[in-house]
Structure 1
Amino acid sequence: MKNRNPKDAVISGEKSDGAKPVYNKKKNMKRFGRQGRSLDKSTNSYYNPSVIKKKREFYDNAKHVKKYKQLVKQQRTDVPSAIEPLEEENETQDGSKMSKNNKKRKDREPRNLIEIYEKKHEEQEKARMEKEAIVQAKKEEREKCEARRKAIRENMMKKTRKGQPVMKYRIQHLLETIQGSMNKL
């Protein structure tokens, strides 16, 4: 760069407004064998977060649409067989009577897919309610512990007008811990 000649700066005789001089283009052509990469922002060759975000949203939406279509297709296949009335259970396709064992087994089985769905749904609902009850109990217990700790901490931090700690609460806390340890033995 030090040995640059001012005549080399303007080969074509003019310089564009604020743009790079023409000699850079020619040097790049010689060095790379073709035109060098442009730094112009108008092309899409640079990193653009908004474009990347739009592409990601497009693919996410496509994935959700695909899942939705699969669910709809599955429901269409399940519903007609669930709604169709079952044939008489006592007779087979030949018209002959079923044995007692087969009849008992059929009676124990759910009549159609709707009943299966309802039973499964009820079981899931019960399991969900039990989980919620457990979570709620743990949450209440945690809140009680936090409230107790907060009250103890407030009492331990109390100070007199002169800035000395109030010993009444500290001694009371020590006494409670000693009695608790005695009760465990």
Structure 2
Amino acid sequence: MIKILPLLIPLALLAACAGSNDPRYLIASAPGETVANLRSRSIEVRLVSLPSYAAASDIVAEGEGGALFALGGAQWADDPARGMTAALARGLSERTGAAAAMEPWPLNTGPDARLDVRVDQAYARADGIFELSGQFAVSSPGGTVREFVQRFNITTPVAGDGAAAAADALAQALAELARQVSLAM
């Protein structure tokens, strides 16, 4: 019996996790207007850098006193850094018509531009506003576009309560970030 006990503990933990019905929310980018003056035909979007609370699977919001709390067991359906990177690549492609893809670059010929996004803040504030701030850098491996670093501070309203409202506000913020990047390029 003592030899079997260590085998039963991991099985019990696995069974407890398998029964979880916590809701999971997709990270998306809302559609936006097309930008016609982009000089890059191809853009590699590097993995978005996130602060530790935003990189976790729990969806968080600001509570009383400024502390961040998980929203009722709700989680992101994908790794947040990967999800935001994919949403930005999709948003840039839809807005610009450029071939935008997540790193690693999938084609033999390198991209015209490389986008590196570093997020400082990404959360639903207690005042009903979603904040997405940080900086993005555009580099050009082949020297075909102007290289630069630019700060962004995007706020979008959180329409409602809970994780679904926070996920929608993040989608709007990512759409605005894709717009700002495409206009700057």
Instruction: Report the TM range for the smaller structure's normalisation.
Output: under 0.3
- Identify the structure with bigger relative contact order (alpha carbons < 8 Å, sequence gap 6+): 2
Q: Which has the higher strand share?
A: 2
TM-score relative to the length of structure 1: 0.16
- Give the greater-gyration-radius structure (CA): 1
